[in-house]
Amino acid sequence: MIYQRACDIVTDEVFLELDGFLPDSQLFLKLEGMNPAGSVKLKSALGMVEDAERKGRLLPGGRIVESSSGSLGIALAVIAAARRYHFTCVTDPNISPQSLVLIRSLGAEVVQVTRRDHNGGFLGTRIAHIHGMLDADPALVWLNQYANPANAEAHARRTATSILKNIGEVDVLLVGAGTTGTLMGCTRHFRAFSPRTRIIAVDTTGSVTFGGPPAPRYIPGLGTSRRPELCRPDRVDDIVLVDEPDAVRMCRRLAREHGLPAGGSTGSVLAALEAIADQIPAGSRVVAVSPDMGDRYVQTIYDDMWVAETLGTDVLDGSRTHPVAV
């Protein structure tokens, strides 16, 4: 397949059947990390940019601003470079050094706010900074991933459609929740075309999206400190919250036992599946969405020191990655 632009390489057809994960059922992992932006957020970003173009909000040479501390920032930087837009990513000190370098390498501007908001986080400061930029430059386009219906629409049109096309009958679908764009897009499409599928939302303990109390979280991807406007909890059948240590254990096990170094949210989704495995009838066809791969987590999830210091040595179990000196 020959593409004209890197941002058009949306790998939406890659599924890995994980043998032996569920003893009596089939599990298909939808791998979303194999595109130039390295995550499922390439589709969210394309959906929002193309929607803004269609509506005449984003004109050739236009300027985009968005608040992101990772995957969406990288995805928008990939698109902005290929489509000749100027992109400013408003982020904070929690962004990983790899994401920061990558976004800048793609030609985007990065603004890092440093003042904490009244909740002790940075999201409020990031949004206030964007409002200031919009006041100063009304032509600037803020995509606002937490509230933009085009985010969810992209996943109804692409992610969910691809799952039903490739897998056919789906008994259970597990989707992680960040902005809930992937989740809400999938629920919309499945309710229309496969209403019998049980849809399970997976979130991180400490996220407030589904009404739980806030608590510190260390792994990017899932979870929020303020409920996304897109989120409609009544559209999902079940919600499973996963503790970060369990997500990390799962990532490390997946790498060792299945040869798949996946990102943290994949670990959460599979840890959620393991927790509810006894509720899944034998012979089911289960799909889980894997939003990204593990290479951006080598200094966190796959680093023994980070895991031991941040989450505790028991999380390492038999999965130490540091070499033994001889």
Ligand X SMILES: Cc1ncc(COP(=O)(O)O)c(C=O)c1O
Binding residues for ligand X (CB under 6 A): 39, 41, 44, 70-72, 176-183, 221-222, 263, 265, 291-292
Rounded least distance, CB 275 to ligand X, Å: 18
Per 3-state DSSP, what percentage of the chain is helix, strand, and coil (rounded to 5)?
40, 15, 45
Q: How far is the CB of 254 from ligand X (least distance, A)?
A: 15
Coil vs helix vs strand at 144: coil
**Closest CB 82 distance from ligand X, rounded Å:** 20
Token duo for residue 18:
């994980």
Question: Are β-strands 141-142 and 109-112 bridged in parallel, bridged antiparallel, or unpaired?
Answer: unpaired
Q: Please, what is the minimum distance in Å from the beta carbon of residue 211 to ligand X?
A: 16
**In terms of CB distance, is 172 or 293 closer to ligand X?**
293
Residue closer to ligand X by CB (options 155, 249) is 155
Closest CB to ligand X among 32 and 130? Answer: 32
Please state, as a whole number, how many other Cβ atoms lie within 10 Å of the Cβ of residue 194: 18
Q: Measured from the CB of residue 215, what is the shortest distance to ligand X in angstroms? A: 18
Q: Which helix (H) or strand (E) holds 50?
A: helix 41-54
Query: What gap in Å lies between CA 145 and CA 156, rounded to an integer?
Result: 15
| Residue 172 CB, nearest approach to ligand X (Å) | 18
Instruction: Indicate the residue among 25 and 34 with the shorter CB distance to ligand X.
Output: 34
Between 88 and 265, name the residue whose CB sits nearer to ligand X: 265
Q: Which two tokens stand for residue 47?
A: 């959906």
Residue number with the smallest Cβ distance to ligand X? 178
Q: Give the integer Cα–Cα distance in Å for 53 and 48.
A: 9
Burial of 273: CB neighbours in 10 Å, binned 0-12, 13-18, 19+: buried
Compute the distance between CA of residue 98 and CA of residue 151 in angstroms, rounded to an integer. 25
> For 253, which DSSP code?
H
For ligand X, give the closer residue by CB, 62 or 175. Answer: 175
Gyration radius of the chain over CA positions: 19
State which residue, 26 or 239, has the beta carbon closest to ligand X: 239
Distance CA 318, CA 306 (A): 16
Residue 295 CB, shortest distance to ligand X, in Å, is 12
